[in-house]
Structure 1
Amino acid sequence: MTELAFSIFWLGVLIIFYTYLGYGFIISLIAKFVKRKHYEVLSDKDLPEITVLIAAYNEQDYIVDKIENTLSLDYPSEKLSVVFVTDGSSDSTPEIIRQYPNVTLYHEPQRKGKIHAVNRVMRFITTPIVIFSDANTFLNKEALKNIVRHYQDEKVGGVAGEKRIFKKTEDNASGAGEGLYWKYESFLKRKDSEVYSVVGAAGELFSVRTALYEEPGENIIIEDFYMSLSICSKGYRFIYEPNAYATETASASVKEEWKRKVRICAGAFQAMVKLGYLLNPFKYGMLSFQYISHRVLRWTLAPLALPFIFISNLWLAMQYNPFYITASLGQIAFYALAFIGYFVSNKKVSIKGFFVPYYFCVMNFSVYAGFVRFLKGKQSVVWEKSRRAAVSA
């Protein structure tokens, strides 16, 4: 029994270490030996025509700022088409958009979900490049030009921008945890891109060659992730561009972040089933390695390993081994901090690292809830979006 516990403990530790730290070290090391051609920003006369496509559902609180932000971006107006699709919106979002003559609006009263709305509108897009952005995010002025420059490489099928969380001096568990998570996630995406390709774009800001767009099934939950990897599977690279970024506030509370995470995890299991062919490294090589290391393990073996590590550690500690006693006390302290974090999760705290244990647990436990939802088939593509925190909060 002790030998089994020993094996389970160290295998679990290896999985957790590799998933959250080891892969980052390895991909950073590989990146040092890979040289990619650098493409400069094109002059205005050489820039291609592009479309910025924004799907918005009941975004009346953000929509004016989003329109103004998009129209103020540094890109020739004669080469920029701004398109909104507001299917199902029951507030004043469509009416507000109609007040802007240089913005195209597509609207249907029936609500069938974001991917249905995007698929419907993509049939009318004629520009060679389309850039997707969420209605509650705001782009930096140079975002479009920094994205477009990568398409000078014919093997680039898409470009992912960077997601940033609005930083506050004091934050709750959601804001602090989400901000730290995305900083590390952005680091991994930069290294993935330098080595070969990003393995999954974030819907806040990404782009594709219009000719490569294939309508995802209208039951796809995380269409941005699925779409970007489908393009990669055809031999194209997805580049990460940190100088094109979308900023948004964190979820209003951990409850709202939990809702968002569970939905993403349910969609992740759905996508992993549909993208099962990418698990073949003999066919997809580096893409498979990145996909498994960066995504699959985080949604499967890593969360599964946590309870096994804890239980096996307790058993080994009962054998009066000083190392395992210390390790078990460390785990107990970590989860105790997470438990305390639960009770103060919506308080404003300036020490953001305080919320790391709690956010880590939320992130991993949401995988279990997402898996159950996936098995039951209860996650609809028509979902109520999570509330975001106010900027001034």
Structure 2
Amino acid sequence: MLLWIGPGLIAAAIVPYVIFLAGINIGKKLDEPPALTEYPKISIVISAYNEEAVIQERVKNILESSYPSDRYEVIFVDDCSSDNTKALVREAFERAGITYRIIANTERLGTTRSYNRAIEAAQYPIVVTTDADVFFERHALERLIARLLSDERIVAVCGDLHPLPEEGSHPAQMESAYRNYYGRMCTWESAVDSTYAFNGALVAFKRDLVTRIDDRQGADDANTAFEAIRRGFRAVYEPTALVYEDVPEEIRRQYRQKIRRATQLIEATIANLDLLRQRRPFSRFFYPLRIYMYLITPPLFLLGSVLFVAGLALTSPLLALGVLVLAVLAGYLWSSNTAVSFAMNQVYLVRGLLNLGTDTRVWESTSKKIRRV
């Protein structure tokens, strides 16, 4: 009986992924945004805690963007760093000739609350939030703003996040496989209506319509998207706005990072269930799919897997052992495989569900903190 129940639960668990797979391949496609004819002035916001190893290279990366440096200001929020981050970033801004302001928190606030301080201080109508330890592709910022201005119904946009191209570690390969599928899912949602599965590495929004990011619970990126959707507008994923991150080489460090992200995404998902009442494709179709993916799929998949192996062990212990060994080998040898990445992601989501109620607003960075020269 267990040999039938287990696969049945696994089949039920993957239903939303099958639907997304079909949508990715045969569904509506996102049109290219028109090129910018002029560059609007924007406020770029960075919040950082103990980023002295990468912060000067990060400022250099922004300066090397195709977006003209005289069309933006940078607001840097130092979240009580105990290292030399604040002095180094000031030095980098001065050397680069970038218009900047530094806000120094007097207590640890975490990313979202720091962003809200900066949004209040921003001069310009478009705000871009970005991490201190990621790196833009040269045209990413320009393409992000082009998408934001391409449709008056679009109020928030995020970029496409990937591991750094030179990363070859096991965790980086697994993350790359996950990001490849994740990005295509978000792009299909965006083509039809909206997505809230944003990447906090690079987000832009119109400040007159997103005046504040909910900082009580959930991720800053998802909450930015939800704020736009709540007001009846669109939140869109831009696949040509590429941004790269260091992925922890140690599985233990990546596990901590993924658990935190999973917890915050689930919190944001649960906190906005009232949006199901809206009459739009996002609320009637995509949001229910995401709820299923984050709240139902993970426990179903893991329970189904356990029951299947248990049923196999009752009939053939050696075969059950062989299946477990093959699963472990697959995870190690084929880390770039989408199926392996999917299975690992269910573990992270289950752990995120168990982690609900824990305050994840303030956290220690898990990036490798290797200075880039």
Q: What TM-score does the superposition give when structure 2 sets the normalisation length?
A: 0.86
- What is the 5 A alignment of 1:269-348? 269-280=266-277, 283-293=279-289, 295-310=290-305, 312-313=307-308, 335-340=324-329
Q: Say whether the 8 Å CA contact 1:158–1:209 is kept in structure 2.
A: yes
Q: Secondary structure at the match of 2:243?
A: strand
Q: Give matches, 1:161-176, under 5 Å.
A: 161-168=159-166, 170-172=168-170, 174-176=171-173
Deviation, 1:60, is: 0.5
User: Which residue is 2:111 aligned to?
Assistant: 114
Q: Deviations over 1:178-215 (max 9, x none)?
A: 11111111121222222222232110111111112243
Of 30, 37, 56, which residue of structure 1 is paired with 2:48? 56
How much does 1:29 deviate? 2.1
- For 1:355 and 1:28, locate their aligned partners in 2 and report how far apart those are by CA, in whole Å: 16
Are 1:368 and 2:355 an aligned pair?
no
Offset of residue 81 of structure 1: 1.2
After TM superposition, the structure 1 = structure 2 runs for residues 179-328 of structure 1, keeping only pairs within 5 Å, are 179-280=176-277, 283-293=279-289, 295-310=290-305, 312-313=307-308
Aligned with 2:355: secondary structure? helix
Cα pair 1:115 1:220 within 8 Å, conserved: no
Distance 2:314 2:267 in 1: 42
Structure 1: any 5+ residue segments left out of the alignment? none
Correspondence list, 1:128-139, <5 A: 128-139=125-136
Q: Kindly provide the CA deviation profile for residues 58-100 of structure 1, in whole angstroms up to 9, marking residues without a partner as x.
A: 1001001000111121123322112211121111111012222
Instruction: Give aligned pairs, total.
Output: 365
Query: Hey, what's the Cα distance between the residues in 2 that align with 1:87 and 1:297?
Result: 35
Report the secondary structure of 2:198's partner residue. Answer: coil
Match of 1:152 in 2: 150
2:35 partner SS: coil
- Tell me if 1:92 matches 2:84: yes
Gaps of 5+ in 2: none
* Residues 15, 301 of structure 1: 8 Å contact kept: no
CA contact (8 A) 1:278 1:288 kept: no
TM-score computed with the length of structure 1 as normaliser:
0.82
Number of the residue aligned with 2:368: 388
CA distance in 2, matches of 1:223, 1:337: 38
Task: Please give the alpha-carbon distance, in whole angstroms, between the structure 1 residues aligned to 2:31 and 2:42.
Answer: 23
* 2:59 corresponds to 1:67: yes
Q: Is the 1:177–1:356 Cα contact (8 Å) retained in structure 2?
A: no
Partner letter of residue 87 of structure 2?
Answer: E
Q: What SS does the aligned partner of 1:97 have?
A: helix
CA RMSD, 1 decimal: 3.0
In 2, Cα distance between the equivalents of 1:95 and 1:142? 28
Q: Give the AA of the match of 1:91.
A: D
Letter in 2 for 1:40: P
**SS of match in other structure, 1:123:** helix
Aligned mates of 1:216, 1:167 — CA distance in 2: 31
Counterpart selection for 2:359 from 362, 365, 379: 379
Q: Is the 8 A contact 1:176 1:355 kept in 2?
A: no
Distance 1:91 1:309, change over 3 A: same
> Is 1:76–2:68 an aligned residue pair?
yes
CA distance in 1, matches of 2:216, 2:10: 36
The alpha carbon displacement at 1:255 in A equals 0.7
Given that 1:19 and 1:298 are in contact with CA atoms closer than 8 Å, whether structure 2 keeps it comes out as: yes
SS at match of 2:204: strand
Paired residue type of 1:68 = K
| Equivalent AA in structure 2 for residue 167 of structure 1 | P
